[in-house]
Amino acid sequence: MNPVTARLKAVASPAIGLGCMNLSHGYGHSLSETEGLHALEEAFEMGYRHFDTATLYGATANERLVGRALAGKRDEILLASKCGMAIDPELGRKVIDGRPTTLRRQCEASLERLQTDHLDLYYLHRWDQGVPIEESVGELGRLVEEGKIGAIGLSEVSAATLRRARAEHPIAAVQTEYSLWTRNPEIAVLEACREADTLFVAFSPLGRGFLAGSVRERESLVEGDVRLGMPRFTTENLTRNLELLTELERLAHEREATTGQLALAWLRAKGDDILPIPGTRRVAHLRENLAAEELTLGADDVTRLDALFAPPRIAGARYAEGPQAEVDTEQFE
C-alpha cells in the first residue's frame, strides 16, 4: 500500500465515516446551524473521525458548518472536501468547472471556511470534460506540493479516467456511489483502484435512505429533495424496489440488525479498502450506522445479498439523463 493511502486509511478509523452533505443540501430543507453543530459534535463524540464535505453543499454553507463544529478537533480527524462543482452565485445554479485557476481559488476559499491550513483529502467533485483531466489533477498536485492538501481524490470517474489521472499524480481515493442497489463500481473502477492501492470511498451507501427503510412512498419526499428527480424514486419503480427491501428486512431480522446496518456491513465485507460515508441528520441514525462496524457477514450472507440486489433486479436508473451526463462512471447495459 502506498504511504499516502496507508496514512489516510489509518486516520479514517473507524472505517465508517460521515458524509456531511445532507446537513445542508439535497433533501429539501436544511438543519438549523444549532442542529447541524449538535449533530457534528455528537458524531465526533461517538467516534466518527472521517468527515466529508464539499464546496457545492449548501452553496458553501456545509463547509462553514463543518469548520465551525470541528475547528478544535482538527488534528484528530480526516477532513475531506471537494472542488470543481459549485453553485454560481450570479447564475444561481450548479456549475462544473475544472480549470486550474478555479480549483486553486476554490481550495483557498474552502480552507478559510473550514478554518484550517490544509485538507487531508481534496477531491475533484466532477471531471469537467471540457478540461483534460491531466490539467485539473496537475493543479491539485501543485496544491499537494504547497501543503494545502495532503492527497488528491476523484469523484464519479471511470477506470480509464482514473488511469489517466494517476499518470499525472498519485490518486489516493476515488469516491463514487456504491451500495447494494448501485453496483456500478464493480464493473471496472474498483479494480482500477486496487491496481494502485487507491482507497474507494462509497457515498450514498444506504441508497439515499432507501436501504435504511426511510423512503416507502414518493409522497414522503418534500419539495427540493433531489430524489424526486431520480428514476428509482418514481412511484412505479419505488413500488417494485420495495419488494427487495421487504426481503432485506427479513435478512436483517435474522441477524438482529437493521437494514441499514446490513447494507453497511455488506460494503465492509467487500474489502477493507472500501470506506462507506453514510449521511444522516439524526443522532440516533449516526449511532446506528457506526455500530454497523461491529457486524460481520459471512460469505454466504454476502452471496445472498449480492443475488437479492443483482443489478437487473433494480427498477430505475440511479440518475436522470441530465445528471447522468455529468458523471464519467461506467454503466450497466
Q: Transcribe 24-45 into DSSP letters.
A: TSSBSS---HHHHHHHHHHHHH
Residue type, 290: L
Q: Among residues 27, 24, 32, which one has the least CA distance to residue 56? A: 24
Residues 273 and 262: their CA atoms lie apart, in Å, by: 18
| In the chain, domain spans | 3-326
Predicted pLDDT at 1: 63
| Angle of CA points 61, 178, 215, to nearest 5° | 70
Q: How many CA atoms lie within 13 A of 59 on its CB side?
A: 9
**Enzyme catalytic residues:** 57
Say which DSSP state 70 is in: H
In a 13 Å sphere around the CA of 269, the CA atoms on its Cβ side amount to 22
pTM of model > 0.85:
yes
Of 164, 122, 163, the C-alpha closest to 144 is 122
Per-residue pLDDT of the chain (333 residues; tens, 9 = 90+): 666 677 667 766 788 999 999 998 778 777 889 999 999 999 999 999 999 999 999 999 999 999 999 999 999 999 999 999 999 988 889 999 999 999 999 999 999 999 999 999 999 999 999 999 999 999 999 999 999 999 999 999 999 999 999 999 999 999 999 999 999 999 999 999 999 999 999 999 999 999 999 899 999 998 888 999 999 999 999 999 999 999 999 999 999 999 999 999 999 999 999 999 999 989 999 999 999 999 999 999 999 999 999 999 999 999 999 999 999 999 987
Which of these, 176, 108, 112, 122, lies nearest to 151 by C-alpha position? Answer: 122
The pLDDT value given to residue 26: 75
CATH among 2.40.170.20, 3.20.20.100, 3.10.20.740, 2.170.130.10 for 3-326:
3.20.20.100
Q: Which three cell numbers stand for residue 238?
A: 419505488
Instruction: Round to the nearest angstrom and report the end-to-end CA distance of the chain.
Output: 33
Rounded to whole angstroms, how far apart are CA atoms 327 and 286?
29
What's the CA gap between 113 and 244, in Å, rounded? Answer: 42
Cis peptide upstream of residue 14 (ω within 30 degrees of 0): yes
Determine how β-strand 18-19 pairs with β-strand 50-52.
Answer: parallel
